[in-house]
């Protein structure tokens, strides 16, 4: 048993391991140590590892209090069951008390995740259903030769896995750690790449590499003696259309109570807790509740831009004054963005075509000077219909009733009236996005609007090898699978479930996790409390999108807590002036990166098609900021994994086709 440690020890961290093979294997142990070393940014305060009779586990920790505490892996009293966990178990104290009353003995005085191996002894693979928190964990049951992996319900914490030769299995918090495994094949999955070009992210379970998969949110994996199965243990889909108040007043009161409870759970820490504040509705709701619970002086961190079209710092400053918060603003311009891009390029775990990862990481570095924990507003838009695309879906239904000739004429006229401005999602840009998906089916057009390149736009970019590998492939199949066959009550529910299951999990939460972890900062999202999420899903869609007002019930629930201007403020995306940045300092570098001979050598895309895309933007004929950033992040990742400008091998068969 590990020696006792005084004090409570909270952590954000990285986990990794390999199971299978001999009881003791120094080569396996050395590989796990190498995997752990790649995760030092996730946990710079300590390292733990254990050889556990048929398995090796690794752990990196960020200690928020009690830096001297013994790190995981933790085991049961007899050393037969071991575990490592990345994240927070908010009901950990309650679980520990119950386990202690039933005779379990612990090695620490308050580590929440030490409850995991002991609870596994009692409930087995139903363990994740008993946990309230954000987590990705592994349990190694040595007597049974069983590995249990599980990921939290929303997907706040990441978990990757890879089957290895001889039936072994490796897992890690980030893809980079698996690249330290010598036996891991390094070939890009063509289907996954096509999904990335469509969505700007890799939808779970896909990753860039054919031999690696992400465990989806709300799922568990059980490996036993060389074979494994993946199962769902929680789904938001089952809550849509469920029992809920029909009276908006009662619904708003209960919603306010659940938000207060979620903030209360996530503020627990022995160090100051801050808030990422934009001045918009979601982050202000979080600040309002935290200020009520903690009093004035809550540290808040916001971004500003010297380009006024992208600057929200003035709104955040007004909000901070209203709540007497400790206001901290980071003002960005091209030099800071250049530095942020360099940092992100060096730290990319997998490509992510969301340019807001740059300012998110810079804000995390800025906040880390004062705090180790921040609360953020992720999840609200996907629960309460906050995106303009939900209203756009209704406009598209009207648009499709027009004759095809009239539709084309209308768009042609509007294009002539709205020249390309390269601004912050102006009418010219929004019109182009609408046109990109308006003629598609509901789910298809929704993802075409959110992403970069629907099928008709990505196919001309493909080089010969990629085109052949994707013959007959349907890039929308991942999106359709999320809602297909589910008895959802209406169209809004379909879109909300799709965004919660895909965009939230694989874009927003991936962005926040990687951007904050590269700064060794912990981010927590109160709106993703599973009780709150389940309640929100069950509410009628008319409570979420009423007329042209999104998040109607949330506005009503929090009206007494918020300044009136916040309630009226329209949603603004967390963006940077990437379109204009391309027209100045970044443009020449992009020309060099995507020079025809370099694109040809890489082997993925057609050099002329990529050059045309970039030239259209640089000549101000079209705003291609989204596809160009997506291609940039992919190429930067390829540099890290395969070498600067080196050829990229394509897998002959996708990982999905091989049962991963």
Residue from 462, 405, 440, 423 nearest 578 by CA: 423
Burial of 455 (0-12, 13-18, 19+ CB in 10 A): middle
Q: How many C-alpha atoms does 237 have within 13 Å on its Cβ side? A: 19
**C-beta of residue 297 within 8 angstroms of C-beta of residue 325:** yes
Structure-block tokens of residue 532:
């709150």
C-alpha 518/C-alpha 367 separation (Å) is 12
Question: Within 10 Å of residue 346's Cβ, how many Cβ atoms?
Answer: 10
Q: How many CB atoms lie within 10 A of CB 462?
A: 20
Contact 123, 134 (CB under 8 A): no
- 302 belongs to the catalytic site: no
CA distance 35 to 29: 10
Q: How far apart are CA 128 and CA 217, in angstroms?
A: 11
Strand 219-224 to strand 146-151: parallel, antiparallel, or no bridges (unpaired)? Answer: antiparallel
CA dist 432 and 411 (Å) reads: 9
Cα 272 from Cα 10, distance rounded (Å): 13
Q: How far apart are CA 100 and CA 133, in angstroms?
A: 20
Contact 446, 498 (CB under 8 A): yes
3-state secondary structure of 220: strand
Which residue in this structure is represented by tokens 């996708």? 654
138: enclosing H helix or E strand: strand 133-141
Q: Which listed residue (13, 16, 85, 638) is catalytic?
A: 13
Beta-bridge partners for 136:
86, 151
Instruction: Give the Å distances, CA to CA, from 164 to 21, 22, 178, 212, 406.
Output: 11, 14, 11, 10, 56
C-alpha 239/C-alpha 380 separation (Å) is 16
Q: What b/e readout covers 477-510, taking b as 16+ CB neighbours within 10 angstroms? A: ebbeebbeeeebeebbbbbbbbbbbbbbbbbbbb
H or E stretch including 186? none
CA 355 to CA 349: how far, in whole Å? Answer: 15
Structure tokens at 248: 């908006």
Burial call 231-260: b when 16+ CB within 10 Å, e when fewer? eeebebbebbbeebbeebeebbebbbebbb
Is 236 strand, coil or helix? Answer: helix
Using left for φ > 0, alpha for ψ between -120 and 50, and beta otherwise, residue 342 falls in alpha
Q: At what angle do helices 491-498 and 530-538 cross, to 10 degrees?
A: 160
End-to-end CA distance of the chain: 36
**Cα dihedral sign, 279-282-286-292:** positive
What is the crossing angle of helices 404-417 and 427-437, to 10°?
160
Q: Which residues participate in catalysis according to the annotation?
A: 13
């Amino acid at each position: 048993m590990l020696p006792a440690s005084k004090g409570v020890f909270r952590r954000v961290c990285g986990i990794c391991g390999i199971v299978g093979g001999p009881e003791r294997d120094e080569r396996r142990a050395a590989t796990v140590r190498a995997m752990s070393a790649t995760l030092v940014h996730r946990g710079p305060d300590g390292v733990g590892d254990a050889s556990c009779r048929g398995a090796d586990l690794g752990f990196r920790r960020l200690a928020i209090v009690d830096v001297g505490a013994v790190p995981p892996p933790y085991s049961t009293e007899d050393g037969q069951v071991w575990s490592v966990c990345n994240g927070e178990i908010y009901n950990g104290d309650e679980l520990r008390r119950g386990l202690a009353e039933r005779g379990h003995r612990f090695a620490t005085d308050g580590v929440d995740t030490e409850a995991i191996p002991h609870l596994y002894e009692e409930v087995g693979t139903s363990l994740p259903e008993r946990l309230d928190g954000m987590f990705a964990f592994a349990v190694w049951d040595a007597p049974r030769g069983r590995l249990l992996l599980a990921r939290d319900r929303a997907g706040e914490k990441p978990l990757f896995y890879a089957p290895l030769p001889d039936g072994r299995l490796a897992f890690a918090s980030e893809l980079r750690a698996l690249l330290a495994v010598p036996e891991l094949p390094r070939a890009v999955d063509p289907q996954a790449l096509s999904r990335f070009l469509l969505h700007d992210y890799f939808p779970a379970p896909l990753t860039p590499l054919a031999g690696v998969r992400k465990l989806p949110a709300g799922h568990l994996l059980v490996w036993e003696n060389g074979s494994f199965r993946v199962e769902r243990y929680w789904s938001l889909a089952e809550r849509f259309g469920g029992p809920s108040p029909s009276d908006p007043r009662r619904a708003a009161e209960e919603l306010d109570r659940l938000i207060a409870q979620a903030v209360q759970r996530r503020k627990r820490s022995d160090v100051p807790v801050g808030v990422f504040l934009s001045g918009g509705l979601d982050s202000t709701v979080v600040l309002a509740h935290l200020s009520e619970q903690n009093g004035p002086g809550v540290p808040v961190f916001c971004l500003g831009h010297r380009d006024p079209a992208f600057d929200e710092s003035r709104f955040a400053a007004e909000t901070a004054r209203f709540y007497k918060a400790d206001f901290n603003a980071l003002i960005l311009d091209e030099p800071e963005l250049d530095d942020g891009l360099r940092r992100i390029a060096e730290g990319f775990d997998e490509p992510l075509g969301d340019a807001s990862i740059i300012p998110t990481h810079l804000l995390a570095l800025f906040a880390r000077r004062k705090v180790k924990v921040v609360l953020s507003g992720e999840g609200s838009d996907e629960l309460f219909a906050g995106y303009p695309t939900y209203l756009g879906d209704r406009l598209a239904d009207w648009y499709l009733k027009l004759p095809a000739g009239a539709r084309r004429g209308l768009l042609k006229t509007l294009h002539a009236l709205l020249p390309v401005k390269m601004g912050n999602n102006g009418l010219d840009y929004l019109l182009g996005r609408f046109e990109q998906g308006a003629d598609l089916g509901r789910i298809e057009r929704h993802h075409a609007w959110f992403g970069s390149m629907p099928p008709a736009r990505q196919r001309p970019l493909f080089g010969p090898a990629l085109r052949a590998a994707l013959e007959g492939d349907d890039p929308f199949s991942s999106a359709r699978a999320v809602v297909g066959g589910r008895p959802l009550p209406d169209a809004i529910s379909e879109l909300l479930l799709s965004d919660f299951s895909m965009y939230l999990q694989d874009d927003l939460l991936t962005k926040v996790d990687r951007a904050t972890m590269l700064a060794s900062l912990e981010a927590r999202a109160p709106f993703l409390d599973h009780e709150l999420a389940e309640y929100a899903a069950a509410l009628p869609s008319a409570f979420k999108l009423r007329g042209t007002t999104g998040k109607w019930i949330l506005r009503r629930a929090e009206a007494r807590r918020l300044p009136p201007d916040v309630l009226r403020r329209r949603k603004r995306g967390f963006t940077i002036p990437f379109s204009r940045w391309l027209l100045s300092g970044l443009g020449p570098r992009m020309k060099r990166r995507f020079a025809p001979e370099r694109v040809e050598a890489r082997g993925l895309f057609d050099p002329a098609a990529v050059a045309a895309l970039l030239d259209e933007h640089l000549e101000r004929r079209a705003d291609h900021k989204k596809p160009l950033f997506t291609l940039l992040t992919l190429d930067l990742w390829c540099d890290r994994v395969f070498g600067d400008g080196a050829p990229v091998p394509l897998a002959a068969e996708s990982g999905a086709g091989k049962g991963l």
